[in-house]
Amino acid sequence: VQLQASGGGLVQAGGSLRLSCEASGRTFAGYVMGWFRQAPGKEREFVGAITWSGGSTYYADSVKGRFTISRDNAKNTVYLQMNSLRREDTAVYFCAATPYRRGYYFKFDYEFNYWGQGTLVTVSS
């Protein structure tokens, strides 16, 4: 199982970026896909997640209204559209996947089984 994140780069504050995460190696039907990030010197934190159908999305308060998660199941790909970027959004962004389970919040990294390698997003002032 592989998750390949891409789309990171350098962007000015107020700008936008779209990250992609392509999954391969198995079918991800029924899987929840998530995004996490880790800033220098800080712990990894939840950004957002989306269910297989796309009917449910979850976001960290810090990104609500600015970031949008979507997925294309035919391509086994999940996207993270990031708008109105701020310097504090600078981090390595990771995608992750886990089977849907009742009782999970899909906001904690221990809930996710598979992880991508990360892509760096740098927001300059």
Give the number of residues written for the chain: 125
Higher-confidence residue of 2 and 28: namely 2
Residue 46: half-sphere exposure toward Cβ, Cα within 13 Å: 20
Tens-digit pLDDT profile for residues 67-97: 999 999 889 999 999 999 999 999 999 999 9
| Rg (alpha carbons) of the chain, rounded to whole number | 13
Question: Which pLDDT belongs to residue 26?
Answer: 80
